[in-house]
Amino acid sequence: MELLLIIANIGTAVVLYPIVRHQNEILALGYVTARIVECVFIAVGILSLLTVVTLRQEAAAGADASSLVTAGESLVALHEWTRQLGPGFVVGVGNGLILGYLMYSSRLVPRAMALLGLIGGPLIIVTGVAVLLGVLEEGGVWQVAVIPEFLWELLLGIWPIVRGFNPSAIARLQHE
């Protein structure tokens, strides 16, 4: 599933870049960069878990079990950190703040919808940092703060398919 997430993240960045670059090319490139950074964190997390599988196979082959358990626990911890830093933090910057601002200012989607990203991005950043610093427990009640970002990403996936981008906004962007 995480491999599909990587493909979807890069796919959305590549598809949206030519559209939003007319609004602000630097921020559009920042959005693509944030998505790539998020995907790198996810990929490192995947590799750490695949390495745990390899360690389990070595344990079955008779390697020193106690050192393999320690290494395995370290790799699982690495996966948790990459999940916190990628989808738990960088997504708030890239998809929430940057893409939310680009969609809000370009009016490609309804402004109220883009506000979900502009609200959800900072909330994910704050709760993500709080989890990283141990102030909040992961998955605790404060994690409801991700709901605006969740709705933003969900609607942004559905809106262009069902309603399309605002035609007048597209025409305005193409003439700039």
pLDDT digits (tens, 9 = 90+) for 93-147: 999 999 999 999 999 999 999 999 999 999 999 998 998 888 988 877 877 888 9
- 62 three-state secondary structure: coil
Apex CA 21: angle with CA 148 and CA 151, to 5°?
Answer: 10
Average pLDDT over residues 139-162: 89
Average pLDDT over residues 145-169: 92
| H or E segment and range at residue 64 | none
Average pLDDT over residues 69-93: 90
The whole-angstrom separation of Cα 51 and Cα 49 is: 5
Q: What is the structure's pLDDT at 40?
A: 96
**Between 88 and 112, residue with greater pLDDT:** 112
Q: Give me the count of residues in the chain.
A: 176
- Annotated domain spans of the chain: 2-175
Mean of all residue pLDDT scores within the chain: 91
Average pLDDT over residues 8-25: 94
Average pLDDT over residues 30-46: 96
Written as six digits, the tokens of 58 are 């070595």
**Between 132 and 46, residue with greater pLDDT:** 46
CA nearest neighbour of 108 among 167, 21, 163: 167
Q: What confidence tier does 63 reach under pLDDT thresholds 50, 70, 90?
A: low
Other Cβ atoms within 10 Å of 41 Cβ, number: 20
DSSP class per residue in 147-167 = HHHHHHHHHHHHHHHHT-S-H
- 53 three-state secondary structure: helix
